[in-house]
């Protein structure tokens, strides 16, 4: 879906995946683009197998891939700091210093809070390792009974 590069939205959500625990420099263009086109609130959700939740004594394959958030705190902190600084840097560059930025880390075996997308105007999704956003309006996002967000491209 194309829209003018000058169009902005009050509240936006950006969904992306992380392949490892390194600061996600490859997401910088998408984060900057989303921040530049958001006025009030930007929520950035980062999915990774490294953030999977361990729930049982006998671990599934997804749970076995999880890392300890306390043992890996330095790496997790670098990811959070990098993403937050990238978004707030752009908001300051466009003189939007009051924009709220939230960064959420989610495992691939976790459900999202069903209210996370409430009142959002647009979803920015980074897919396939691409470093540019694929724009999907939130009216094309639905929630399953398990509270997972599904983004579908508009024709």
List the domain boundaries for the chain: 9-148
Q: Which fold has domain 9-148?
A: Rossmann fold (3.40.50)
Evaluate whether 3 touches 61 at the Cβ level (below 8 Å): no
**Does 135 score more than 60 pLDDT?**
no
pLDDT of residue 91: 95
Phi, psi of 91 (to 5 degrees): -65, -35
Over residues 109-124, the mean pLDDT reads 80
Q: Which of 19-28, 29-38, 107-116, 135-144 has the lowest mean pLDDT?
A: 135-144
């Amino acid at each position: 879906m194309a829209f003018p590069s000058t169009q902005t939205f009050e509240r936006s959500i950006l969904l992306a995946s992380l392949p490892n625990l390194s600061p996600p420099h490859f997401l910088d263009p998408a984060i900057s683009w989303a921040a530049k086109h958001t006025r009030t609130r930007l929520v950035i959700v980062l999915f990774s197998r490294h953030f999977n939740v361990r729930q049982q004594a006998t671990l599934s394959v997804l749970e076995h891939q999880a890392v300890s958030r306390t043992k890996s705190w330095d790496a997790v902190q670098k990811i959070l700091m990098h993403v937050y600084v990238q978004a707030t840097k752009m908001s300051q560059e466009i003189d939007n210093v009051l924009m709220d930025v939230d960064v959420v880390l989610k495992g691939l075996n976790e459900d999202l809070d069903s209210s996370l997308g409430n009142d959002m105007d647009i979803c920015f999704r980074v897919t396939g390792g691409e470093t540019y956003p694929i724009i999907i309006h939130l009216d094309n996002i639905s929630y399953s009974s398990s509270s997972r967000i599904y983004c579908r491209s508009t024709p």
